[in-house]
Amino acid sequence: MKRFPIILPCHFGLEAVLKRELYDLGYETTRVEDGRITIEGDADAVCRTNIFLRTAERVLICVGRFRAVTYDELFEAIKACPWEEFIPANGKFWVTKASSVNSKLFSPSDIQSIAKKAMVERLKQHYDIEWFAEDGVAYPIRIFINKDEVTVCLDTTGDSLHKRGYRTQAGKAPISETLAAALIMLTPWHGDRVLVDPFCGSGTFAIEAAMIAANIAPGMNRKFTAMEWDNFIEPALWDENIEEARDNIDYDVKTDIQAYDIDGQVIRIAKENAKRAGVDELIHFQQREVKDLSHGGKYGFIISNPPYGERLEEKDTLPAIYSAFGERFMALDSWSAYLITSYEDTEKYVGRKADKVRKIYNGMIKTGYYQFLGPKPPKRKKED
């Protein structure tokens, strides 16, 4: 089976989490850059990474990587890429996105136009035709230019991988599904440990945690652009990987995942989202204020996306919210808490300095991932 570079974009700063996911799937990393990882793979790898990865944003086949500082160089290098290996004569192809950072070529519309012309010239020579009807399957292309290095890719995913399909409604400041999964995977939490989200919003942290606990592949119930690329990805490969994903699910897993929010309507939305994700039986949802946060268990985890106060009228409410959280957290003496927030006075009002603060962008908002670490639980005695 033909192999090619596969590029997997992810949240900036969370490359190590994706790298570990890829290793667990059996893939070796060949290149790590800010916000993306590259592996070598084949058609089966395209299917597996789309279906099983929790923290990648897309799966892109790298068709070419080269340096270009003029539009002539860009044209000739894109023309030299082996497009005929991927795009059939009736394929619909266009540059869906072009981006440029610190490069001499910086106009997205010019990059898109020149790339299309170069691809047409290459395919005209290969298929010996002068005009393309483009009435077949879609083959969207993405081009990234960074410091004059051009990366040209086929987008196998379509809608971003964070669109699992379960979240049709979101709260005021939702966190993406891929970011939520990555932040959970940054912690030592496992499915047999308690997890509470006291500001659950649309339920994303709780749902992603339940999917991890039950080993539910995030992409098993959605469609991907490359599912129609039967000219080089056999449909059976998708079927086999989806069947494997279904076989891996453990709905009998014992979990203690709890999600609270002060807003009853938000809780109803979260419950509906969990039901669509197939994990509603694994999560306890409840309308509850943060001042009522409590749990009888030991060594639990709080992972949450509390209010940031992005709206001016909400700023005044934050000290009381974070103080109430801090008081309840301190009462959970063996617990750990992980908060993603842009609120600069988080530590002041929680009443404790974070053990670590990781800088993360939630969309366009610069946030910190505040990690308040509790003691490690005693090691379990091995059974004789």
Terminal alpha carbon distance of the chain: 47
Band the pLDDT of 381: cuts 50, 70, 90: low
Dihedral sign of CA atoms 367, 193, 290, 216 in order: positive
Q: Which one, of 10, 365, 40, 25, lies nearest residue 186 by Cα?
A: 10
| Predicted pLDDT of residue 353 | 98
pLDDT tens-digit series, residues 317-373: 999 999 999 999 999 999 999 999 999 999 999 999 999 999 998 888 899 999 999
Going by their DSSP bridges, the two strands 92-101 and 194-197 should be labelled as unpaired
Q: Do strands 256-261 and 194-197 pair parallel, antiparallel, or not at all (unpaired)?
A: parallel
**Cα separation of 206 and 275, whole Å?**
12
Which segments of 8-54 does DSSP mark as H helices, in order?
15-25, 43-52
Angle between helices 235-248 and 43-52 (to 10 degrees): 40
Q: Alpha-carbon distance 208 to 51, whole Å?
A: 15
- What are residue 133's phi and psi, to 5 degrees? -70, -30
Whole-structure pTM value: 0.95
Q: Is the dihedral of CA 64, 67, 73, 74 positive or negative?
A: positive
Q: Exposed e or buried b for every residue in 342-376, given b needs 16+ CB within 10 A?
A: bbeebbebbeeebeeebebebeeeebbbbbbebee
The answer to whether residue 171 scores a pLDDT higher than 80 is no
Q: Contact at 8 Å (CB) between 205 and 174? A: no
- Residue 12 in contact with residue 35, Cβ under 8 Å? yes
Q: What is the pLDDT of residues 104-121, one digit of tens each?
A: 999 999 999 999 999 999
Cite the beta strand spans of 36-148 per DSSP E: 36-41, 60-67, 92-101, 138-146
Q: In whole angstroms, what is the distance from residue 48 CA to residue 34 CA? A: 23
State the pLDDT at residue 170.
64
Residue 168: what pLDDT?
80
Torsion over CA: 233, 237, 239, 245 (sign): negative
pLDDT in tens, 194-249: 999 999 999 999 999 999 999 999 999 999 999 999 999 999 999 999 999 999 99
The whole-number pLDDT of residue 273 equals: 96
**In 3-state terms, what secondary structure has residue 138?**
strand
